[in-house]
Structure 1
Amino acid sequence: MYTFLTGGADVGKSQALKALYNALLRYYSSQPGSDPDDTHILLMAPTGKAAYGIKGSTIHSALLIPTSEGFHYKALTSDKLNSLRVKLRNLKIIFIDEIFMVGNGMLTFIDKRLQQIMGSKNIFGGVSIIAVGDIFQLKPVFDGWIFNDLTHDYGPLASNLWKDHFMAFELTEIMRQKHEQSFPQLLNRLREGNQTDDD
């Protein structure tokens, strides 16, 4: 399952992420023989600030992705790989917040890293991904938009993981300021470039 949850300002993307995470945590914890130390779900984000906001980890720290080598994939050493395999052996789902700060090169790196960790050639090593974010964000730093085809390192024949596998769901109802919707509506018009003369 590869899902993309999106929407404009104040529609409840963060709350939906928390609700899904907590429901899945309860589900996996209630399974017979479940070990409380097992990691079934990872919460990740591309920056420290975004990771802190969801009480998760940065993508780089969670998957031991070096920050200094660009997007040229380098497999983990056997020691690091074994350590991650022990920690993530029961991993089922990853939430990635602020997905549009993740570029197409980084998404491909995540795919290859998960294949190595899980010992599987399936997309993302067979781990489900729930990506959350707003398409009207700044472009990823030193990377292409996640929905564009790769133009470096992996070549023109590389598949586009985002276009080929992710299904989008858009939240549209403003939740945070239900009784005063004029300001969130203004923000959404601005983000889309559809502001009116009155704005």
Structure 2
Amino acid sequence: MFISGVGGTGKLFLIEAIKCLVDDIWHPKSGEIMCAIVAPTGIAAFNVGGLTIHRLFQLLIEHEGKTAGYWALSKEAQKRIKMTLKNLKIIIVDEVSMVSNLNLAYLHMRLEDIFGTDEWFGSKNILFVGDLLQLPPVNGRPVFKKISNKLVKTRLGVANAVNIWKETVEYDELTINERQKGDETFFKMLDFVRHGSLTDETID
């Protein structure tokens, strides 16, 4: 599931509400993660009280602009992460616009490895949150783009590419903007900026 919405529609509030609900229902023990909140950058992860995708799922990061590959975990590392996530109920990925299509594939593969299944994302509930009109991946193609056949062969070791986003994600949108409530003119101007359609008339 992908939940979108412009700034001020309550995406962060929704994430916090889901986290509280999971904790209230299942009462995770110390060191146990039932609601995994992750983001593609350290600042984004800090803002939602989570971890980076790379840290929690132990994915390699790019170095000097070079796209990272995918490496299977050692038996010891896999054992540790399985213990941490053994009762995982949901994964929330915030600021999904900055996640590349290749990193989405790496996340899927890591979850397959951790939970021992070939189902999408290890058969775990996963919620993507963000606005695809905001910042794109620093190095890579947007999460909703199909990975090229060449990249699939060199990075993933498989023959044919699949558009993971299109195959797995349903869409919904938060539409009530509480932040700009009561200021329709300012809200419309921000929407023009968001879509890259700001005109001289709008500025005036």
> When you count helix as a share of all residues, which structure comes out higher?
2
Distance 1:42 1:143 in 2: 24
Task: Say which is worse superposed, 54-63 or 170-179, in terms of deviation.
Answer: 170-179
Structure 2: how far apart are the matches of 1:108 and 1:178?
A: 38
Unaligned runs of 5+ in 2: 154-158
Contact 2:61-2:68 at 8 Å conserved across structures? no
2-structure distance, mates of 1:172, 1:149: 28
Offset of residue 193 of structure 1: 2.5
Looking at structure 2, the residues matched to 28 and 185 of structure 1 have their Cα atoms a distance apart, in angstroms, of: 42
Aligned twin of 2:89: 92
Aligned to 1:44: 38
In structure 1, distance between residues paired with 2:183 and 2:62 = 45
- Range 85-94 or range 15-24, more displaced: 15-24
Could you report, residue by residue, the CA deviation over 1:135-177 in whole angstroms, capped at 9, with x for unpaired residues? 1123212211111110253247221111111111111111123
Equivalent residue for 2:160? 157
Q: Which amino acid in structure 1 is aligned with residue 123 of structure 2? A: G
Amino acid at match of 1:72: G
Cα distance in 2 for partners of 1:68, 1:165 equals 26
**Is it true that 1:115 corresponds to 2:123 in the alignment?**
no
Contact kept in structure 2, 1:9 and 1:187, CA below 8 Å: no
48-57 or 66-75: which moved more? 66-75
Please tell me the root mean square deviation across aligned C-alpha atoms, in Å. Answer: 1.8
2:179 maps to: 176
Correspondence for 1:188 among 183, 187, 191: 191
Which segments of 5 or more consecutive residues in structure 1 lack a partner in the other structure?
A: none
- The aligned amino acid for 2:6 is G
Q: Distance in 1 between matches of 2:192 and 2:117?
A: 44
Paired-residue identity, %? 31
Alignment TM-score, normalising by the size of structure 1: 0.89
Aligned match of 1:10: 8
Runs of 4+ in 1 over 4 A off after TM superposition: 34-37
State the TM-score, normalizing by the size of structure 2.
0.87
Report how far residue 21 of structure 1 moved.
2.1
Q: Larger RCO: Structure 1 or Structure 2 (Cα < 8 Å, ≥ 6 residues apart)?
A: 1
Q: CA deviation at 1:35?
A: 4.4
Whole-angstrom CA distance in 2 between matches of 1:5 and 1:54 = 15
Q: Any idea what SS the aligned residue of 1:153 has?
A: helix
Aligned partner of 2:132: which letter? I
Separation in structure 1 between the aligned mates of residue 25 and residue 141 of structure 2, nearest angstrom: 36
**Per-residue deviation at 1:41?**
1.1
Is residue 198 from structure 1 mapped to residue 196 from structure 2 by the alignment?
A: no
Match of 1:27 in 2: 25
In structure 2, C-alpha distance between the alignment counterparts of 1:8 and 1:130, rounded to whole Å: 17
Deviation per CA, 1:16-35: give whole Å up to 9, x if none: 22122222222222xxxx64
How far apart, in 1, do the equivalents of 2:26 and 2:123 lie? 17
Q: Is 2:122 aligned against 1:125?
A: yes
Sort the Cα spacing of 1:71 and 1:153 in 2 relative to 1 into closer, same or farther, 3 A.
farther
- 2:59 corresponds to: 65
Query: Counterparts of 1:150 and 1:110 in 2: how far apart (Å)?
Result: 14
Please name the residue that 1:137 is paired with: 134
